[in-house]
Amino acid sequence: MAADSMVQLVSYLAAQQPDEIKGTPESEWVDFKSISPNGPYDLSTDKGKFELAKDVAAFANAGGGLLVCGFKAKKRPNELYEVAEKATPFDKKLVNTDSYKDVLTEYVRPLIKVKFFWYDHPEGDPEATGHYFVIEVPPLPEADRWAMVTRGITDNGQFIKNSWTIPIRNGDTTAFLPQDEVYRLLNDGLRARSTAAATAPAPAPAADRVKVREVLRAGLKLEEAPVLFFQSVPDHPRGLVPGMYADGGLRDVLSNQDTLRGTHAFNWSSDYTRPAPREGGLLLADAPRRGLLVESDGAVTGAVSATAEMLGWAMERYNDGSGVRRINVFVLTEIALEYFRLVDRHVLPLVDGAWTHRIVALDFARPPGRVLASGEDPAFPLWGSTEMATSDDWNHSWRALGDPERDAYEALRYIYALFGLDVTVNPFIDGDRVSAAKLQAKGKRLQAGQ
C-alpha cells in the first residue's frame, strides 16, 4: 500500500494504520524522517537547526507539505525515489515543540505558521511502540515568496554568519535557488517596485493606539510617572483572536510564561496576579511596576514605569545630587527582550499578515529627568557618565521582524537614541541582536551578589 495524498497519509496515521504508509515515495509534498538518539532533528547542533529550517522553508516555497517523523525511507533498486520502508515510532520526549518553534522563528523568513501533530502507534505491537510526529507546512502565498533560511552552513555543519539561502523542494529532494536566479528576482522586484511607487499611494502604517496607552497608564496609576510603552499592532486586524480564553490559549500563555530567569526577574509574568478578561481581551497588571494589555484583535500594549520600581531598579545610590534618575541598563534590556519573546512567539502567529512594533517613552525629560549611560551599570561607588533624555514624547515604530532578539535590538536602538547614544554601547548586544545568553550570565552574577 501507499498514500497518494496528504489527506490519505494523515488518515492512515489517525486510524493507527502505519503499515498502509509503507511504500509511499517521498515527493514534492512529503518527506520521511527517521529517528536518531536526539530525535528527528538534533537541535543541539547547527546542522540540526539548519536541516529543520531548510526543510520547512523548502516546502513553504513549493505547495506546502508534510514532514513525517518516524519512518525510515530507502531507495529501492529500479526506483527513482526513496520510499517509506519501515515504521520507527518513538518517545515524545525526543521532541520539544517549543524548541522547534524557536528555531523556525530565528532562522526562517518570513515567519511560517507550521502545525505540529502527534499520532499513536497501535497498542499491542510486540515489535514497536511510541508515536509519530508530523510537521504540516503551509505554502507561502505567491506574493510572499521566497522563504529563506537566514544562515548558510559549512561542510562541517557549522553556521556561516551573515549568509542566507533559499531552499526549494525538487521532487523528493531539496535544492537551492541559484545565485543568478536570486539576482534576477531582486532586480525584477526593484523595477516593479519603482514602477508601482510612481502611481500607488504609500501603505498606511498600523494605527497608533494612543487611547490604549492612556487607559493602561491610568489603570497602573502611573499618570505622574515617566513610562516606557511597548506596542504591537497587526496592520490588518481581523476581528476576535480565536481561543483567547481556551485551554492553551493566550490566557494560559500569559499565566505560564516561558521567561529567561523566572517570575522574580524583569519580565511580564507574575506569581501574584493572573490575566483578567477585559472587553474581549486580557489585562495582566502589576501596579505600579508594569502591566500588559492584549486587545480582542490581538494588539498588545506593555507599560513599564521608569522609576525605582522597575527601570530605575537599584539606581538610587547613583543620584549625583541633581535629582535625575538613572535607568538600569540590565533591567531595560531584559524587559525589552522578554516583551518580544512573548509577543513575537505567541501573539504574532495568531493574526496573518504584517505587524508593526512601536516604542513610546513619555515624560522621560520632565524634571528631574531620566538618564542612561554607555556600557554596564556602574559598580559602586563609580557613577559613570550619563546622558539625559531629550524628549518627553518619544514615539517610533518599525515593521515587526518576528524574531525576538532582533526586534528587541530595534526597540533598544530607538530608546538609546532618545538619550543621544548608539545602541552598540549596550553590553548585551551581539551584532544586530540582543543576546539572551549575556543577559542570563549577568542574572547569575546578580544572584551570586557579584
Q: What is the pLDDT of residue 352?
A: 85
8 A C-beta contact, residue 227 and residue 305: yes
Q: What is the mean pLDDT of the chain?
A: 88
Q: Which helix (H) or strand (E) holds 284?
A: strand 281-286
> Band of the pLDDT at 197, cuts 50, 70, 90?
very low
Residues 256-283: tens digit of each pLDDT: 999 988 878 899 998 889 999 998 899 9
Q: Which CATH number fits domain 6-184: 3.30.950, 1.50.10, 1.10.10, 3.40.50?
A: 3.30.950
What is the residue extent of each domain of the chain? 6-184, 210-447
Furthest CA-CA distance within the chain: 85
- In the three-class reduction of DSSP (H, G, I as helix; E, B as strand; rest coil), residue 374 is classed as coil
Q: Answer yes or no: is pLDDT of 420 > 70.
A: yes
Q: Answer yes or no: is pLDDT of 358 > 70.
A: yes
Q: Answer yes or no: is pLDDT of 78 > 80.
A: no
> Band of the pLDDT at 379, cuts 50, 70, 90?
low
Q: Answer yes or no: is pLDDT of 349 > 60.
A: yes
Residues 237-258: tens digit of each pLDDT: 888 888 899 998 999 999 999 9
Q: What is the pLDDT of residue 263?
A: 78
Least confident of 178-187, 347-356, 359-368: 178-187
Q: Which helix (H) or strand (E) holds 77?
A: none
Residue 68 exposed, middle or buried by CB count within 10 Å (0-12, 13-18, 19+): buried
**Which residues contact residue 158 at a Cβ distance below 8 angstroms, ignoring those fewer than 6 apart?**
46, 47
Q: Answer yes or no: is pLDDT of 202 > 50.
A: no
> Band of the pLDDT at 191, cuts 50, 70, 90?
low
Q: Cα separation of 21 and 40, whole Å?
A: 18
